[in-house]
Amino acid sequence: MQVLSLPSPKVRAWIPVLAGAAAWVVLYRSILPLWDWLVYDLAGLAPDTRLGHAVHFFFYDVTKLLLLLAAAIFVVSVLRSFLSVERTRALLGGRRSGLGTVLAAGLGGATPFCSCSAVPVFIGFVSAGVPLGTTFVFLIASPLVGPVAVTMLYAMFGLNVAVLYVLTGLTLAIVAGTIIGRFGLERHVEDFVYQTSLGKGFDPSRELTWADRFQIGRDEVVDIVRRIWPYLLVGIGLGAGIHGWVPEDFFARVAGPDNPFAVPMAVALGIPLYTNAVGVVPLVGALYAKGVALGTLLAFMMSVVALSLPELILLRRVLKPRLIAVFVAVLAACIIVTGLLFNAILGARLLVL
């Protein structure tokens, strides 16, 4: 009889994850004292000088955000491994509207796919009979309410703003996608899309063990962090620069809540700007502290995240110019209305963060 048996593979898969979680907690709790010691004691910078404060702020924020993002990406990736584009498509096919669009928005945030998959996802959805409007709801929601954007907002603005952002993003995707669907532009989809026949589906979420799911989570953390860290450094650096060196009321004068043109300008500025949530949120945080209205900043961020030139160029392969134009115009208009609405409701009041 074997007294000491090895734990089952299922249990063994959890051991490194639990160890990692414990290490994460210890690390997360020690970065503040660590940077206090490194910056103030070892490097000898005074905490009450502008430079000392900025250096400490920069390093502490970068490490804190990297840790938070790594944890969020890991958890979300593992959860997402239970879902796939294929399964989502099966859930959405055959649903006309209403519930279908709500489902599409929710699944858009939850289904794993990288932006370079936007085209095959689009073809797959449309050729499986998912209505055009519902497909757009999914495509708009996906980058807008992804875990990276939400974690960044949570870290810089707190839970209230993060929740508000998710609800706004989902609503915006539903409204914009539904409006695009109402235009009846099915014939402005490139013809080959309808002629494409989908092979027998391959569902990447099938037959995965816990060890596989944790592996996916780890891969995703490494992959995303490797891609975003330069944006994080630039974003936080710019944020720190604005904090310290831009006059207090400069932005409040040009982009305060009283200027109705600030929102459309912010959206127009956001389209060609090639960055992502990681780069833009620290900037948004610094601009908010300098008095730019929250609605304006929200519109700017949504435009940066949801409307990007590279994505439009990709989509051009399946959408004729007229449909691309409608997509951009409707989405931009919806973002502008959202921004103006926020500014009108919140006005000059500062949201308690």
- Region binding another protein by CB under 8 A among candidate stretches 31-39, 80-88, 153-161, 229-237: 80-88
Q: Which of 7, 10, 219, 260 binds another protein (CB under 8 A)?
A: 219
Alpha carbon 192 to its chain centroid, in Å, reads: 31
- For another protein, the closer of residues 139 and 287 by Cβ is 139
Q: Which of 114, 163, 167, 348 binds another protein (CB under 8 A)?
A: 114
Binding mask 120-149 for another protein (x = CB under 8 A): xx-xxx-x----------------------
86 sits near another protein (criterion: CB under 8 A): yes
- Region binding another protein by CB under 8 A among candidate stretches 92-100, 114-122, 152-160, 324-332: 114-122
Cβ–Cβ contacts within 10 Å for residue 241, how many? 13
Q: Cα separation of 343 and 353, whole Å?
A: 16
- For another protein, the closer of residues 204 and 237 by Cβ is 204
What angle separates helix 159-182 from helix 147-157, to the nearest 10 degrees?
A: 140
SS3 59: helix
Instruction: Work out how close the CB of 349 gets to another protein at its nearest, in angstroms, rounded to a whole number.
Output: 43
Q: Which of 197, 245, 349, 352 binds another protein (CB under 8 A)?
A: 197
- For another protein, the closer of residues 61 and 86 by Cβ is 86
R_g of the chain, CA atoms, integer Å = 22
Q: What is the 3-state secondary structure (H, E, C) of 222-272?
A: HHHHHHHHHHHHHHHHHHHHHHHHCCCCHHHHHHCCCCCCHHHHHHHHHCC
Q: Which of 201, 229, 246, 315 binds another protein (CB under 8 A)?
A: 201
- Region binding another protein by CB under 8 A among candidate stretches 15-23, 147-155, 196-204, 291-299: 196-204
Q: Which of 13, 91, 314, 333 binds another protein (CB under 8 A)?
A: 314
Q: Which of 323, 320, 305 is nearest to 140 (CA)?
A: 305
119 sits near another protein (criterion: CB under 8 A): yes
Length of the chain: 353
Q: Would you list the DSSP string of 162-231?
A: HHHHHHHHHHHHHHHHHHHHHT--GGGB-HHHHH----S---TTTT--HHHHHHHHHHHHHHHHHHHHHH
- Region binding another protein by CB under 8 A among candidate stretches 37-45, 140-148, 174-182, 193-201: 193-201
236 sits near another protein (criterion: CB under 8 A): no
159 sits near another protein (criterion: CB under 8 A): no
Give the interface with another protein as residue ranges (CB under 8 A).
84-86, 89, 112-114, 116-117, 119-121, 123-125, 127, 192, 195-202, 204, 216, 219, 223, 314, 317-318
